[in-house]
Amino acid sequence: GQSLEQPSEVTAVEGAIVQINCTYQTSGFYGLSWYQQHDGGAPTFLSYNALDGLEETGRFSSFLSRSDSYGYLLLQELQMKDSASYFCAVEGTGGFKTIFGAGTRLFVKA
Amino acid sequence: DAGVIQSPRHEVTEMGQEVTLRCKPISGHDYLFWYRQTMMQGLELLVYFNNKAVMDDSGMPKDRFSAKMPNASFSTLKIQPSEPRDSAVYFCASSRDSPGYTFGSGTRLTVV
């Protein structure tokens, strides 16, 4: 089977840097994705890592270590609008489908 | 591009009634997914299609749920009979043969 673990909540201050960790267990692995979801909204795709290392997209970066079954999402220069839930998700064996973690709720304070 | 379009946005129905949720994927996207989101279970994959064919429906309670994709631009998720535990937000998502899904705005279903 597949399982993912991420913290349930993280609080940070506007302008700061925050890291959201994700560990996973899968019977097969193709890649790790990150999604953002604001309250009442739909999940929005942020990034995807298939290989080890860091991927940077503007203020957001995502990291993957396949040997450690671990990844993280790094958010820099936090803004109030970054307050949302962030989901890590794995694409594993069994076809082209993605299983989502329970999500991390990020609170950004002024 | 209008994105993934779902209807209705909200649905309130009585227990035992039939409910049909609809989805129009992004043109050219070969994959279509139905997810259900609740506070307790998070985002659960119910079923997904590739080129209109069901690829995996292991997450779908088949005694009451059914999913169809009669053509490349339309899919339905039907619940019959509906139960209060089916209350959730149902998301449809689509994708090309690459990572990263585009989600619709969701249908908030309440079964009373």
Which residues of chain A are within 8 Å of residue B31 when distances are taken between CB atoms?
A: 96
The pLDDT score that the predictor gives to residue B46 is: 96
Which one-letter amino acid corresponds to residue A36?
A: Q
The pLDDT score that the predictor gives to residue A93 is: 59
Give the list of residues 6+ apart from residue A71 with CB closer than 8 angstroms, or none.
A21, A22, A24, A32, A49, A62, A63, A64, A65, A88
* Stretches in chain B below the pLDDT threshold 50: none
Question: Which of B42, B91, B99 has the CB atom closest to A91's CB atom?
Answer: B99
A·B CB contacts under 8 A: 51
Per the CB < 8 Å rule, is B45 touching A103? no
Please list the rounded mean pLDDT of every run of 10 residues in chain A (110 residues): 91 98 89 96 95 94 96 98 97 73 97
Per the CB < 8 Å rule, is B99 touching A95? no
The pair of structure tokens assigned to B64 is 């009451």
Per the CB < 8 Å rule, is B100 touching A33? yes
The pLDDT score that the predictor gives to residue A95 is: 58
Chosen for mutation from B29, B41, B101 (greatest number of chain A CBs closer than 10 Å) is B101
Is residue A8 within 8 A of residue A105, CB to CB? The reply is yes
Determine contact: A29 vs chain B, CB below 8 A. Answer: no
Q: Which whole-number Å values give the CA distances from A66 to A3, A30, A52, in the listed order?
A: 15, 10, 6
Which residues of chain A are within 8 Å of residue B45 when distances are taken between CB atoms?
A: 97-100
Question: Three-state DSSP class for A81?
Answer: helix
Give the list of residues 6+ apart from residue A14 with CB closer than 8 angstroms, or none.
A78, A79, A80, A108, A109, A110
The pLDDT score that the predictor gives to residue B73 is: 96
Determine contact: A92 vs chain B, CB below 8 A. Answer: no
Question: Three-state DSSP class for A53?
Answer: strand
The pLDDT score that the predictor gives to residue A100 is: 93
